[in-house]
Amino acid sequence: MFTTREIVIWRTHSTLEGMRTAYQEQLHSLNAVLGEMCDLAGSAMDRATQALLQADLAIAEEVLSENDRLSELSARAEEQAFALLALQAPVAGDLRGVVSGFQIVADVDRMGALALHVAKVARRRHPAKALPEEVNGYFAEMGRLAVALAANAREVLDTQDPEAAVRLQEDDDAMDDLHRHLFTVLMDRDWEYGVAAAVDVTLLGRYYERFADHAVLIGRRVVFQATGQTPEQFQDAS
Amino acid sequence: MFTTREIVIWRTHSTLEGMRTAYQEQLHSLNAVLGEMCDLAGSAMDRATQALLQADLAIAEEVLSENDRLSELSARAEEQAFALLALQAPVAGDLRGVVSGFQIVADVDRMGALALHVAKVARRRHPAKALPEEVNGYFAEMGRLAVALAANAREVLDTQDPEAAVRLQEDDDAMDDLHRHLFTVLMDRDWEYGVAAAVDVTLLGRYYERFADHAVLIGRRVVFQATGQTPEQFQDAS
C-alpha cells in the first residue's frame, strides 16, 4: 500500500491524461468482475428454480455451497473500486461511475442471497415439493425472467449501452405482472393447499420479484455510469 | 463546480493536515444527515405500525405523503458524499468511511420503503384491519423493536461508538425470534383467518424483519467507519 504522502506526490507527477486512461481501464476491469457476479447470481437462481420445481436436494445444496464464490468476487470488486478511488482520485462523472460500482456490488450480493433463499425453501420441504402443481408454471416463468434479467444486467455492464440498460425495466414489468397474477391465484380462487403452502408461495414470489428489482437497479446504475444521467433524464433527452 | 485541473492544484497546495480536518468536519455533517434520515424512517415505521394496528387511514396516508422528505435528504446525503470524495480525495480508512456513507443512504432508503409497504397494506385493507386480533401483539412488538433499531442506528451514527454499533445485532436477534414465532402461529396452529390474511401477515412480517436487517447493516458500517474493521474483527480484537 501507499502512504497518503506518496499518493499525493504520485498524483501531482502523473499527467491528467494518463490518469484518465488508467481510470478507464480499471473501471472496465471492475465492470468485468461485476458482470461475472451477475452470471453467478443468474446461474444460482436458475438452479434454485430447478431445485424448487423438481424438489431436487442435490441441486439445492449445490447452490448453497457455491455462494462463497460470489462473496469472494464481491470482496474483490470492492477492493478494485477502493483502489480506483484511492489511486485515480476520479472526479465528477468518473467518480459517479465508481460509486455506482459499489452499489452494483450490493445489488448482485442481494440477488445471490435471494437465490439462496429459494434454494433453502426447496431444501426445507424436500422430499416434498414446496409448490402446489397449480403454481409451477408461474415459478418456471418467473425463474426464466429472473435469469434473463441477470444476463441482461451482465450484458449492459459489458457494453455500457444505456438504451439496453433502460430496457431491463420492461422485463421487470413482465415479472410484476406474473407476481400480481400469482397473488390472484392465492387470494381469489379456492386455494386448497393450506396456509403453509400459501406462506411459501408468498415468500417465494417476493424473492423472485426482488431479484428482478435489483437487476433493474443495475440497469439504472449503468445508465448513470454511461451517461451521467438518471434513466428518466436520459429518456427525456433521447 | 471545479475543473479537474483546479482540484489537482488545490490538492497540491492544501496541507494534508488541513485536508484531514475538513474531511472530519464534512464526514460529521454527512453522518448528521444520515442520522436525520434514520429518524424519519423510524418515525414512518412507528406511524405505519399504528395505521396497521388501528386501521387508521389518515395516518397511513400521512406516512405515504411524507416519504418525499426522506428522498430529499437521501439526495442531499449523496451529494455531500460526492463532494467529500471529489474535494477531499480521502485515502485508506477515510475513503472507506465515505463509501460506508453511500451504503448507509441505500439502507435508510430501503427502511423508508419498507415502512411505506406497511402503510400501503393498512390502506389497502381499510376500513377492515389487515391483521387478525391474534397476531396484533406480535406486530406491536415488532414495530417497537423496529423503531428502537432506527433510533439506535441514529445514535451510533452520531457517537461513532463501535461497541454500541455492534449491539444493534442483539435487538435484531429479538426481531428474528418474534418473526419465527409468528410463523409458528401461521403454520402450526389452526389458522382460522383464511389465506388472504396469511399472505398479508407473511409479507408484513418480512417487511419488519428486513427493516431491522438494514438497521443492523448501518451498525456494521459504523463499526467500519469508526475502526476500519468489520464487526467480527473488532470483537475479536476487543
What ipTM was predicted for this assembly? Answer: 0.89
Please tell me the CATH code under which domain B4-231 is placed.
1.20.58.220
Burial class (CB in 10 A: 0-12, 13-18, 19+), B173: exposed
Among B1, B114, B195, most A C-beta atoms within 10 A, so best to mutate, is B195
Mean pLDDT by 10 residues, chain A (238 residues): 55 61 89 97 98 98 96 95 83 84 96 98 96 96 98 96 94 94 86 92 98 97 89 87
For A182, which residue in chain B has the nearest alpha carbon?
B199
* B192 CB within 8 Å of a chain A CB: no
Distance from the Cα of B76 to chain A's closest Cα (Å) equals 15
Domain ranges of chain A: 4-231
* A103 → closest Cβ in B11, B106, B196: B106
Would you say the C-alpha torsion A39, A42, A44, A47 has a positive or negative sign? negative
Cis previous bond, A90, omega within 30: no
Name A156's Cβ contacts closer than 8 Å, sequence gap at least 6. A164, A165, A168, A218, A219, A222
- Integer CA distances (angstroms), A27 to A31, A101, A225, B13, B198, in order: 6, 9, 10, 28, 47
Q: Cα(B23)–Cα(B87) distance, rounded to whole angstroms?
A: 9
- Give the predicted TM-score (pTM) of the model: 0.91
A133 alpha-carbon distance from chain centroid: 28
Q: Cα(B41)–Cα(B63) distance, rounded to whole angstroms?
A: 10
Name B190's Cβ contacts closer than 8 Å, sequence gap at least 6. none
* Residue B5 reports pLDDT greater than 60: no
Among A74, A91, A220, most B C-beta atoms within 10 A, so best to mutate, is A91
* A191 → closest Cβ in B103, B191, B195: B195
For A11, which residue in chain B has the nearest alpha carbon?
B8
Cell 459489458 -> residue: A158
* Residue B7 reports pLDDT greater than 70: no
Cell of B228: 476500519
CB < 8 Å to A199, chain B? 183, 186-187, 198-199, 202
Cell 445489488 -> residue: A107
CB < 8 Å to B89, chain A? 89
Q: Helices (DSSP H) in chain B: which residue ranges? A: 4-13, 16-54, 57-65, 67-83, 92-125, 136-159, 162-187, 194-227, 231-237
